[in-house]
Amino acid sequence: MKVVVKLLRPRGKGASAKVKRVRGPEGQLVTVRALDSGRSTFGADLRNVFATNVSKARRENKAVVGTTDRAPAKR
């Protein structure tokens, strides 16, 4: 019997999206993710950033409305 040990995820060049936390116009912290369009993994990077944004929006909607698939009412 032969046992092979290796990493489950491949090692890459590091983070795909640069993440910065900056102050918004009203003084609150805002997370900005910047992608490099010249990378060969741009499609996967864009998908990951989009998935992160959708997850955040669902968490916020659930906190306000109680469900993830409905937008809060406009005032």
Instruction: Domain ranges for the chain, please list them.
Output: 18-55
**Contact between residue 16 and residue 45 where contact means Cβ atoms under 8 Å apart:** yes
**Contact between residue 8 and residue 22 where contact means Cβ atoms under 8 Å apart:** no
Closest CA to 46 of 19, 15, 20, 17: 17
Whole-number Å distance between alpha carbons of 32 and 41: 19
Q: Which tens digit of pLDDT belongs to each residue from 12-60?
A: 555 678 889 999 889 999 888 899 888 888 998 899 899 998 998 888 8
Is residue 73 predicted with pLDDT exceeding 60? yes
Is residue 3 predicted with pLDDT exceeding 70? yes
Instruction: Mention every residue, 6+ apart, whose C-beta is less than 8 A from residue 15.
Output: none
pTM of the predicted protein model: 0.62
